[in-house]
Chains A and B, each alone.
Chain A
Amino acid sequence: MASSRRSSSDSARPDDAPDAELEPTQTDPRRPSDHFDSPAPQKGIVQPTLGLVGYLRFFWRQLTSMRTALFLLLLVAFAAVPGSLVPQVTSDPNGVIQYKEANPGWSKVLDALGVFNTYSSVWFSAIYLLLFISLVGCIIPRTMHHISALRAAPPKTPARLDRLPGYVSTESAPAEVDVEKAIQDARGILKRLGYRVRVFPGESVSAERGYLRETGNLIFHIALVGILLAVGVGGGFIYTGQKVVVVGQSFANTGSDYDSLSPGRWFSADALSPYVLQLTKFTAVYETQNQSALGEPIDYTANVRTKVPGGSWQNQTIKVNSPLRVGDTDVYLLGNGYAPTLTVRNPAGKVVLTQSIPFLAQDANLTSTGVLRVPFGLKKQLGMIGLFLPTTCADLCTSSLSSLYPGLTNPELSLQVYEGDLGFGKSAPINAFTLDTTSLKEIAGRNSGKPGLILTPGKTVALPNGLGTITLEKNIPRYVSLDIHHDPTQLWVLSFAILVFLGLVTGLFIPRRRMWVKAVRAKDGVTFEYAGLARGEDGRLDEAVAALAQKHSQLLGLSIKP
């Protein structure tokens, strides 16, 4: 028994593949020549001189070999590492800026190598493109081969079964046993087990099952190519944009209304499907009971109403895990914060500006910073940098530079004020969230000798140098930052991913195996022999042969030779 345990997964060493003599079946399913199941290369054959075509063919065979595929796979894994160690422009642009500031010299090297854009860098792309070329070169011949194998009958029964895995035979039966019928019985049993069978009358049955294994494997690999194509080609039709919306304000899905918009290569602005979205309410719920999690967010809900041309207003909600699908786009709730409303008056008391300014959160308790620009209406252009604390420390703390709780319990806004040219009308774009103070003069705040301005809701204070007044309005609205995406490839990618998964499971777990039942005549009677052969990993081949032998021999009333 022990000596016959030779299913391929258990014992196959590369060079003792048991079917080396099994022409014409040895290459089925078709595998690159360095697959462990393929016949070992013959040594000692002198290569003919190659010539150009010969070299190309040689190169192509190398590229589509198992060894190259393996090498490229490991290389992809390896090449993906640096991108996780260094911040990436696409996923963490601020991180990249900070990193470059912290490591100026080293960053130049990394920049030159494209490490801040690892996953779109030339070298990373080159590796995975080579891998996929290798993949295509591998699956095309396999697919052609498999399609014809699907229509072919099982292979001939090998001359000798006793060298094959799982081999067993019956005790010798009297010569007059009906071999024809016994073979038909074996055929019936195998057929019921789902095998495709081929009968050699009076001699043997050859059977094969598990063609789905190769089908699954091919679907898996082809669907991988599908994902790559869907992502690569489809990427051109995507657009993604960001928009900050304060409660009460609206957003229209037109190119000019976005804070930022990054369209794909083949995208044109008139492909934006028109709709209007208004933020009617935003609710944030924070933990108030559990002392160890005080202030942690429990829920964010944005209530919006939307309107497509010709339609009526629809009330809808957006939550963190449930985006809104409207007019060809998905709208995601990605961030939120406070947008204090500030009113600036000139010395005569006339309002020169009133604006809700989104403040960027700096920590989990919504310590936030924001920028107010007053370019017109006062004697000087003013810029202000604000620090907003929704809950400032009432009296016990010495410094109040950060908020204690994200809700509006005890709000306070402090402002540093600068005067000078704000740069409007110049070509450089103005960042709404930062103020470049290099050419400005600080007139209130830390370095100016005068204290910064401190505002609480409803309070008005004078601007320095008699420039006017500024008021923090009582009601402090919230804003949300929305990501708006149009991605027609999602469904494709998802479908291919499902195929990948199904192909994987069938390709891994359906055993592909051959079985043979053979009548061997000798002087004193007939014995029946059984053996199998695994194509690919198959831990249960021996069991399967034993079960078949058991069933068939019982039907014949014979017993198995121990």
Chain B
Amino acid sequence: MTQADIVTYSLVAIYSAMAVYALAFISFALDLARRVSEAKVQAAAPAVSVAAASGRGSTALLERTDAPAATPARASRSVRLAMALTVIGWVLHVGGTILRGVAAGRVPWANMFEFSLTMTAIIIGVFLVVQFWQDLRFLGVYVTGFVTLFLGVATTNFYVAVAPLPPALQSYWLVIHVFVASLGTGFYGLGAALSVVQLLQARRESKGQRPLPAVPTPERLEALAYRLIVVGFVFWTFTLMAGAIWAEHAWGRYWGWDTKEVWTFIIWVIFAGYIHARATRGWRGSRSATLAIVGFGAVMFNFTIVNLYFKGLHSYSGL
């Protein structure tokens, strides 16, 4: 196999993964649509379900042990299909990403295209792994939708041919710093998604509407989001520090307020703010959730707009 062959296989795998994710997205969306309409039906006949009766206090809804019994919307066929498709898509995705690394003879995260592959693979990976403890399938629509879109943008707009590493990137810090940054991004992404759902649920609650079935209460969502985001924060802190050490080796100073450094710092501070908000009276709940979403918005801004349009030393997008 020549390098060109491997690159082709890698792309084929990525395109296939996108197709499978798109199918998974449709399945998740069907499931969600069904739940929403069921919620309406239940609203019409209030006596039917446990969840409907327990209202705000039903924090136990998504506990693995009692979920099936307490959930009227038992995992539907379409959600199970969607999960299976997500797993298949993920295997293709990871395979394609690894092949890209093999073709380049190094880790597959040295330019924007490769970083997009790795980062989205991590988002799906975290999504799948977290299911072992916590049923997060209601996030499937968001996660598969986001990743399909992101891969679409990456393959059409960020694609670059395999190229050798420029001297500044030839460092083991590339392996550590960038990988941990993608891990952090993955955790932040899921945390922000939970925060979005939390805001939606809280809105329904405050309007006196029924919560979406099989979606936890806002309090539970907030607790879950917090747990994912603090893990993301630890990774992000590490990224910041590892980046400083690497900058010292490659550029001769550990901190120089380069645009990318500035944005990494801004994101770090926003999430430190989020953690504080969670500990500040009057800021728990929807306000801190908004901060988490703003924080992830900044992560995405840092990855796309800052990489493409801002001038700085981190010009490694390859574009």
Interface of A with B (CB < 8 Å)? 1-3, 5, 9-15, 31, 34-38, 40, 66-67, 69-70, 73-74, 76-77, 80-81, 83-85, 87-88, 90-92, 95, 118-119, 231, 240, 287, 290, 292-293, 296-300, 319-323, 330, 332, 334, 483, 485, 490, 493-494, 497, 500-501, 504-505, 508-509, 536-537, 539
Q: Which of A36, A231, A497 contacts B281 (CB 8 A)?
A: A36
Q: Which of A37, A74, A84, A485 contacts B259 (CB 8 A)?
A: A84
Q: Can you list the 8 inter-chain pairs with the closest CB atoms, starting with the nearest?
A: A332-B252, A293-B163, A292-B161, A320-B167, A66-B280, A77-B269, A483-B252, A84-B262
How many angstroms from the CA of A387 to the CA of B104 in the assembled complex? 36
Beta-carbon contacts of B199-229 to A below 8 Å, as 1s and 0s?
A: 0000000000000000000011001001100
Given the known inter-chain contacts A14-B284, A320-B250, A497-B244, please indicate yes or no for A298 contacting B306, CB distance below 8 A. Answer: no
Residues of A within 8 A of B266 (CB): 77, 80-81, 84
A321 touches B168 (CB 8 A): yes
Beta-carbon contacts of B239-278 to A below 8 Å, as 1s and 0s?
A: 0010011101111111111110011011001101100111
B279 touches A11 (CB 8 A): no
Given the known inter-chain contacts A73-B272, A504-B234, please indicate yes or no for A320 contacting B170, CB distance below 8 A. Answer: yes
A34 touches B282 (CB 8 A): yes
Is the C-beta of B164 less than 8 angstroms from some C-beta in chain A?
Answer: yes
How many angstroms from the CA of A34 to the CA of B234 in the assembled complex? 25
How many angstroms from the CA of A240 to the CA of B252 in the assembled complex? 9
B223 touches A539 (CB 8 A): yes
A10 touches B265 (CB 8 A): no
Is the C-beta of B238 less than 8 angstroms from some C-beta in chain A?
Answer: yes
Q: Which of A35, A74, A90, A292 contacts B279 (CB 8 A)?
A: A35
A92 touches B227 (CB 8 A): no
A87 touches B311 (CB 8 A): yes
Which segment, of B18-26, B57-65, B86-94, B121-129, faces chain A? B57-65
Is the C-beta of B162 less than 8 angstroms from some C-beta in chain A?
Answer: yes
Q: Given A319-B167, A321-B167, list of 7 further CB < 8 A pairs?
A: A9-B226, A91-B257, A92-B312, A293-B164, A298-B165, A536-B279, A539-B227
Q: Chain B: which residue is nearest A292 at the CB level?
A: B161
Residues of B within 8 A of A299 (CB): 167, 170
How many angstroms from the CA of A118 to the CA of B272 in the assembled complex? 21
Residues of B within 8 A of A88 (CB): 257
Min distance, Cβ B256 to any Cβ of chain A, angstroms: 5
Min distance, Cβ A80 to any Cβ of chain B, angstroms: 5
B249 touches A322 (CB 8 A): yes
A497 touches B59 (CB 8 A): no
Residues of A within 8 A of B252 (CB): 240, 323, 330, 332, 334, 483, 485
How many angstroms from the CA of A322 to the CA of B246 in the assembled complex? 10
Q: Can you pick out 16 interface pairs between chain A and chain B where the beta carbons lie within 8 Å of each other?
A: A11-B219, A34-B281, A66-B279, A90-B256, A92-B311, A290-B162, A290-B164, A298-B164, A321-B168, A321-B173, A483-B252, A490-B248, A504-B234, A505-B234, A537-B226, A537-B278
Min distance, Cβ B212 to any Cβ of chain A, angstroms: 19
Beta-carbon contacts of B109-125 to A below 8 Å, as 1s and 0s?
A: 00000000000000000
Min distance, Cβ A91 to any Cβ of chain B, angstroms: 5
Q: Chain B: which residue is nearest A494 at the CB level?
A: B245
Within 8 A of A (CB), among B142-191: 161-168, 170-171, 173
A5 touches B59 (CB 8 A): yes
In this complex, which of A11, A40, A118 has the most chain B Cβ atoms within 10 angstroms of its Cβ?
A: A11
Residues of B within 8 A of A15 (CB): 281
Residues of A within 8 A of B168 (CB): 320-321
How many angstroms from the CA of A490 to the CA of B252 in the assembled complex? 12
Is the C-beta of B16 less than 8 angstroms from some C-beta in chain A?
Answer: no
Given the known inter-chain contacts A35-B280, A91-B258, please indicate yes or no for A296 contacting B167, CB distance below 8 A. Answer: no
Given the known inter-chain contacts A11-B219, A80-B266, please indicate yes or no for A297 contacting B276, CB distance below 8 A. Answer: no
Given the known inter-chain contacts A293-B161, A334-B251, please indicate yes or no for A36 contacting B219, CB distance below 8 A. Answer: no
Given the known inter-chain contacts A321-B168, A322-B249, please indicate yes or no for A67 contacting B280, CB distance below 8 A. Answer: yes
Min distance, Cβ B231 to any Cβ of chain A, angstroms: 9
Min distance, Cβ A43 to any Cβ of chain B, angstroms: 14
Is the C-beta of B54 less than 8 angstroms from some C-beta in chain A?
Answer: yes
Q: Chain B: which residue is nearest A69 at the CB level?
A: B276
Given the known inter-chain contacts A34-B281, A77-B269, A296-B163, please indicate yes or no for A91 contacting B256, CB distance below 8 A. Answer: yes
A35 touches B281 (CB 8 A): yes
Given the known inter-chain contacts A505-B234, A537-B278, please indicate yes or no for A74 contacting B273, CB distance below 8 A. Answer: yes
Min distance, Cβ A202 to any Cβ of chain B, angstroms: 36
Q: Which of B163, B226, B255, B257 contacts A292 (CB 8 A)?
A: B163
A2 touches B262 (CB 8 A): no
In this complex, which of B54, B238, B257, B312 has the most chain A Cβ atoms within 10 angstroms of its Cβ?
A: B257
